Amino acid sequence: MKFFKELFGNLKFAWKYAKKEKLKVYGFMICGIFHIIISVIVPVVSAKIIVNLTNSKLRQVLFVALVLFFVENIRNVINFLARYFSQITYRETFIRLQFDLGKAILRLKNSSIDENSSGVFIQRLTNDTSKIADVFNLLNYQLAELLTNIGIFGAILIIDLRVFLMCIISVALIGFFEQKRISVQNEKDKIFRKENENVSGFIGELVRGVRDIKMLNAEKSFLKELNEKLIHLNKTRYDMGKVNRNYNLFISFLRDLSDLIMITLLVYLIYIGDMSIAISLVVHNYMSRVSWVIGNFSYLLEGLKDFNLSTSRINEIINSKKYPKESFGKKHLDSVAGNFEFKNVSFGYDDKLLFKNLSFKVKSHSTIAFVGKSGSGKTTIFNLLCKMYDYKSGSITIDGEDIMELDKDSIRKHITIISQNPYIFNLSIRDNLRLVKDNLTDEEMVEACRVACLEDFINALPDKYDTVVGEGGVSLSGGQRQRLAIARTLVQKTEIILFDEATSALDNVTQSHIQEAIDNLQGNYTIMIIAHRLSTIINSDKILFLDEGCIVAEGSHEELLKSCKDYKLLYEAEIEK
């Protein structure tokens, strides 16, 4: 009962994605009905050919063969239409489901992404969505087969009650063991999918980190780890196969034994005169379908359990609380000036507080820098400003509006962040820039790259702006990746720009150009900078010095040299280098 209740709910979920193709679904169902009728008729017609041949009625043989040819071609056309309807339904359902799941993944809280490997999302986005999209084809086809067999059972009941009872006993016995096989198989499949997610995640990390693995000379360690994971995964796959092998061997024996007993029964009924040879031939033709009725039913049941499992895994991401989603308010700001305030903000990772009652203000169109040791909370401040994480208590406001009350566009449409390790997509330079502005003009693109000191490099490339940069921007140097990220940010033209160690990978010459670009932005944007190179922030309006999540000093560069011993030591150490 629990299975069917869960199945009904999951079918409602799947229908939400398939209902736009309901005419195709109905068309497939109509084809199934005709397929049932033809499948019941064909064995009778085939038996008549054998009977007429036996009695040397050659004209009748030719006539029946012609009828059979006509019926079979109708079935061919019906099968063609059924495949057409099923493929369209599958394709459109699959696309909608994958798109919705992709959208849900992008809405996940960062903590949900941090706590799971990429394999969790990749496997569900590819394999599980496919199984859900195929459920209506599975139901239509297998139910048609099942109804066909039920029709054949009815025909056998009309012919002879004893043969019918023998069929029922055979089907019930085989069905019992098939049900046991499917239940065990389903539990093994749950384990296998979890293992498969782990392996997919590890392979993804191996591919993305292949250059670092080579440079660390760590191929043996990674290959050993990969081998262990693959062995474990395929042992789980082998256990699934073992269940099928063991049960199928016994079930095949039962099916063959059933066929033997049925033939013996037909011979006996012919011998005692209770059945003619012609009728026994009809029954024998039907038996080829009846002997596999449980196979069809088992395939249907196995597919539905597989569907239930896939749907629950997809629903975990789309609808459940297991993978929390980002939440935003409803208040919308068309534009912002760029005034920020942290007021008694407390935040931590894994229940360990990083900030406790952190407070500071940023005026619009000012340039603020954050300085401090690694782990002091500088990048976390940027993440909280962009609402990548939610703070525990206190408030963060933009232009006096609490960010917890603002919608997503009011925060992220007006703030861009250039991170220490920006991700560059496996697209052309032009398409990387168009990701943030689809109506980007060539003039805007060229100007952004010029300001980011990237124009000369691009013009020296054979394909210029159409050059594909590889996954993660692998064909670019570290400095070129960051300059492309800066250009991508300048294309957005947001009121607030956050630089998170954006010049850390640049050489001194390029850094001076970028610094000049940042200086040119001052006064027109609210700019916040995290930097270890203090030379890049000496022109900031205010510098905040952080230590263990607390602001221990603030002021201009000159003021901090006089009032903050730690800041002075950092600056002098940099000058000495």
**CA torsion, ordered 429, 431, 434, 439, to nearest 10 deg:** 120
- The DSSP annotation for 61-117 comes to HHHHHHHHHHHHHHHHHHHHHHHHHHHHHHHHHHHHHHHHHHHHHHTB-HHHHHTS-
Here the tokens at position 40 are 């019941």
Q: What is the pLDDT of residues 306-338, one digit of tens each?
A: 888 888 888 888 887 778 888 888 889 888 888
Mean pLDDT rounded to a whole number for the chain: 80
Q: Using the predicted structure, report yes or no on whether residue 505 has a pLDDT greater than 60.
A: no
pLDDT of 334: 86
The residue-averaged pLDDT of 137-156 equals 71
The CATH code that applies to domain 340-576 is 3.40.50.300
pLDDT of 246: 83
- The DSSP annotation for 556-567 comes to -HHHHHHH-HHH
pLDDT of 89: 84
Among 285-299, 409-423, 549-563, the least confident range: 285-299
Q: Using the predicted structure, report yes or no on whether residue 576 has a pLDDT greater than 60.
A: no
3-state secondary structure 113-129: HHCCCHHHHHHHHHHHH
Q: What is the pLDDT of residues 435-473, one digit of tens each?
A: 888 788 888 888 888 887 788 888 888 888 888 887 777
pLDDT of 292: 66
pTM: 0.69
pLDDT of 84: 85
Q: CATH classification of 2-318 is 1.20.1560.10, yes or no?
A: yes
The residue-averaged pLDDT of 153-157 equals 74
Distance, in Å, from the CA atom of 132 to the CA atom of 554, rounded to the nearest integer, reads 57
| Nearest alpha carbon to residue 245 among 166, 184, 165 | 184
pLDDT of 575: 66
Which residues have CB under 8 Å from 56's CB, separation 6+?
none
Q: What is the pLDDT of residues 11-24, one digit of tens each?
A: 888 888 888 877 88
Q: What is the pLDDT of residues 73-94, one digit of tens each?
A: 888 888 888 888 888 888 888 8
The residue-averaged pLDDT of 160-165 equals 84
Bridge-partner residues for 348, per DSSP? 353
Continuous segment of H or E residues that includes residue 479: helix 478-492
Distance, in Å, from the CA atom of 255 to the CA atom of 281, rounded to the nearest integer, reads 19
Q: Where are the domains of the chain?
A: 2-318, 340-576
Q: What is the pLDDT of residues 354-376, one digit of tens each?
A: 888 888 888 888 888 888 877 77
Residue 120 CA neighbour count, 13 Å, CB half = 12
Instruction: For residue 22, give Cα distances in angstroms to 31, 89, 311.
Output: 14, 8, 20
Residue 439 CA neighbour count, 13 Å, CB half = 0
Q: What is the pLDDT of residues 261-304, one digit of tens each?
A: 888 888 888 888 888 777 777 777 777 666 666 667 777 777 78
Q: What is the pLDDT of residues 172-227, one digit of tens each?
A: 888 788 778 878 887 888 888 888 777 777 777 776 666 666 655 667 777 787 78
Distance, in Å, from the CA atom of 518 to the CA atom of 489, rounded to the nearest integer, reads 12
Helices and strands (DSSP H and E) totals, the chain: 21, 10
Among 42-51, 409-418, 458-467, the least confident range: 42-51
Among 141-150, 241-250, 452-461, the least confident range: 141-150
